[in-house]
Every structure is written in structure tokens, then in C-alpha cells.
Amino acid sequence: MGVDVVRASARAGRVVLWEESPRDGAQAKTLMTPDFRVRLARAQGGIFGGDGPRHVVFAAGFPAVCPQEFEAVRRVAVEAEGAVSVSAVCRGTATDVRQALASVRGTEHARIMVIVPASEAMAGVMTHGTAERALLGGAALVAEALAADDTVAVDVCLADASRADHALVGEHAARLTEAGAGVVVLADTVGDQLPEDTAAMFTGVRRRAGDDVVLASHLHNDLGLALANTLQALRAGVRVHSSSWLGIAERSGMVATEQLLFLLAYRPDRTGALLGDDRDAWWTAPDLTLLPDIARMVAAETGAPLGVTTPIVGDGVGTISTGTPFVHPRLFEPYDPLELLGIEPRVVLTHLASARVVRAVAARLGHHLDADRTRTAVTWVKSRAYDQGHAVVDDDDFADYLSALAVPAARTPR
């Protein structure tokens, strides 16, 4: 087997995103077409230029679901080759492993991820046995997979690791690595961890597993803590992190790719603090201006909404609707949306609009307002918002009002 670029990146301190929107996103009741998966993989890899395979593992799907899913994964592996490291996900059975290998075989930087239960409760449901037995079986599957095709990297996801015995998980993470596993993923499958629990899990497992093991995080967002938990994993030295565009994943999702990537890249001085060391996080720094377009692509494909409060890529980014932020916008923003994301600032009319805001929108629509007409227009905007029952006054409606305002009243004959 050639160099495992994901494992090498993590050991060099670089950050790797494990993209789950095609695979775990399906458990959020979304379905990406094969064409779109290829398009998304290429676009996400392009964020890092030629270093896409070293910074992105693209979980293309679960080949065992059906023949159509197998073909979708195969298309991504073939058509997005060189843009990302493509992974096929499978259960911990010999049949599933062979099928996953077949879906990515013969392509550059190919991977499979085998899901193995780590807790007693999950092992009882998934394998009808103990966690110890399931974990030993996982190491055997890794060895068998590499014996069948040593050109494909084999990773293992330890399901429900958050509720497992961390000493046992650490011991078996080392065994899995000895068997040839590239990355061992610790999953908070039920999304119940608090940040301090996440820190304790990764610290405890790493201490028992040893330095040769490359750990990854897969943390769900049921309590709204996926991003905070992922940051704890980062501080514990983990460099491979599962995420998903717009956070789509099972139930309440997981950490959003665009949020995690932006947070780790928009301020290089902060990146070191978040990672806990001074090593460079990237082989090629990510192009953050690509994030909004990719997020809109995913929203259009899946129906996952982009809201006014969605961080980084939402409708509210770069918008101004009140007086003081209009005059001093940088005072109210943690970053420059135009400089970092390519999002043009936009003034929006609402019932909170000041005279300056109203004049600015009027000027954008081609109307100059004097003081009297500004006061009249402000009153109209506020009344319009309350009359229609929602805050934003449409530009077209305001333009119609301004056009009527500009027409002199007809004189009454004497």
C-alpha cells in the first residue's frame, strides 16, 4: 500500500475533515444523487486545491444499502478520484467489508470505514455479543480487508464509544492499529456528551492507546454541543473530525462542516490556540470564499434550509438593518464577510430601520430622498412591516412606494 495521506496528515498535526453529508446525512432523511455526490466531493476537495485528499475524507455512502447506493459510491470513487480521499462505509461483517472494498477498489486514496460497537449496550444490539468480542472481531476484519486488498486504507468507527469503557476502547484502538487500521473513530453515537466528557474520553483513550494510534471524532448534536465537543477533541490532540454540510446527519445532526472549517481557518492566530500547538493546520490553506456556494448547493439538493441565523453561510451574514451597525458595521461583526467569504454587505429594510438605512436602500433603488421624504418613508416602512406581520420590507414594494412618492400630486382645478 502507498502512503496513507490521511493518517500522515493527522500525525503531522494537519486537520482532516471527514465529510458525512452523503452518508450520515441520509439518516437525516436526505438523498444525494450520484451526480451531486461527485459534484460535492470535487467542490469540497477544491477548497484545498491539490491537497484535497490530504484534508478531506468523503464518506460517499453505504454500499450495502442497495445496488443503486453501491453504484453511487463507485461513481464518487472513480469520478472524484484525486479531489478527496473517498471512503465507503460498512458494517462489521465480512460480506459488507468485501462489498465496500469492491466499491472503491482501484482508485487513488481509497478507504473503507468499518463500524464496530464499542459499548456493551451497542454490542448487544449490533452483534448479540460482548463489546470485547466485537472489538476483537473488528481487528480481525481489518486484517482480512488488508489481506484482500492492501491498496485500500481501512478505518474503524467505534460506535457508542462515549458510553464504553475508555480503558477497553484504548486497548483495542491500539490492537486495531496494529492490525493495520489507519484511523480509529470514536463516536458519540447518541449525542449525549458534555464537553468535559468528550475531553475525558479522547484523553483517556489516547493515554491507553499510545501515540501510534490516530484517533478521529464523530460527535452528534442532539444537545446542541457538537461544535463545542469537537473543539474539546481538537484540544486533546485529535486532528481528524467528522462533520457534515449544514450539520445534516441522523436526528439533530452533527457539527456543520462550514462552521468547523471557518472557525479553524478565519483567524490564523486563533487556530493555534484552538489546536493547542503551533503546528500549521493545513498543507494548503482553505479557500473560505467557496463555503457559501457549496452550502447553497447542499441546501438545494437536500432541502435543508439556510436560515437567517445560520452561521457563516446563512441569509443573515453580512446584512444590516439598524442604525448603529449601519454606521459602524465592523463594530458588530467578528469578521469581514466580504473579505473572508466573498459575501457583499447588504442593507435590509425592517421596522427597525433608521433614517440612514432608509436613505441607503432608497439610493440603491435609484431614489434620492431629502429630509422630508426620508421622514415620510421611514414612517411608511415601519407601518408596512407591522401591517404585513413580518419584519422585512420587500425591495420591490419599497421601490413602488418611492416611485409613487416621487410623482407630484395633480393640481386641483380652480
Q: Return the closest-CA partner of residue 322 out of 297, 303, 347.
A: 347
d(CA 89, CA 111): 9
Amino acid at 180: G
d(CA 72, CA 32): 9
d(CA 343, CA 179): 47
Task: Provide the pLDDT for residue 327.
Answer: 76
pLDDT in tens, 231-285: 999 999 999 999 999 999 999 999 999 999 999 999 998 898 888 888 899 999 9
Strand 85-91 relative to strand 56-61: parallel, antiparallel, unpaired? Answer: parallel
Task: Provide the pLDDT for residue 407.
Answer: 63
Domain-by-domain residue ranges, the chain? Answer: 5-302, 318-414
CA atoms within 13 A on the CB side of 283: 19
From residue 349, how far is each of 330, 356, 374, 395 by CA, in Å? 19, 11, 13, 8
Pseudo-torsion of CA 391, 395, 400, 405, nearest 10°? Answer: 80
Close Cβ partners of 199 (under 8 Å, ≥ 6 residues apart): 232, 233, 235, 236
Q: Return the closest-CA partner of residue 241 out of 211, 268, 209, 263.
A: 263
Q: Return the closest-CA partner of residue 109 out of 263, 207, 6, 238.
A: 6
d(CA 142, CA 139): 5
Report residues of the chain scoring pLDDT below 70.
Answer: 1, 407-414
d(CA 101, CA 87): 9
Task: Provide the pLDDT for residue 45.
Answer: 98
Are the CB atoms for 141 and 92 separated by under 8 Å?
A: yes
d(CA 307, CA 257): 16
Task: Provide the pLDDT for residue 204.
Answer: 95
Task: Provide the pLDDT for residue 331.
Answer: 77
Task: Provide the pLDDT for residue 279.
Answer: 85
Its pTM stands at 0.91
Task: Provide the pLDDT for residue 1.
Answer: 64
The fold of 5-302 is: TIM Barrel (3.20.20)
Q: Return the closest-CA partner of residue 282 out of 111, 55, 37, 3.
A: 55
d(CA 103, CA 63): 7
Task: Provide the pLDDT for residue 326.
Answer: 75
Q: What is the 3-state secondary structure (H, E, C) of the chain?
A: CCCCHHHHHHHCCCCEEEECCCCHHHHHCCCCCHHHHHHHHHHHHHCCHHHHHHHEEEEEECHHHCHHHHHHHHHHHHHCECCEEEEEEEECCHHHHHHHHHHHCCCCCCEEEEEEECCHHHHHHHCCCCHHHHHHHHHHHHHHHHHHCCCCEEEEEEECHHHCCHHHHHHHHHHHHHHCCCCEEEEECCCCCCHHHHHHHHHHHHHHHCCCCCEEEEEECCCCCHHHHHHHHHHCCCCEEEEEHHHCCCCCCECEHHHHHHHHHCCHHHHHHHHCCCCCCCCCCCCHHHHHHHHHHHHHHHCCCCCCCCCCCCCCCCEECCHHHHHCHHHHCCCCHHHHHCCCCEECCCCCCCHHHHHHHHHHCCCCCCHHHHHHHHHHHHHHHHHHCCCCCCHHHHHHHHHHHHCCCCCCCC
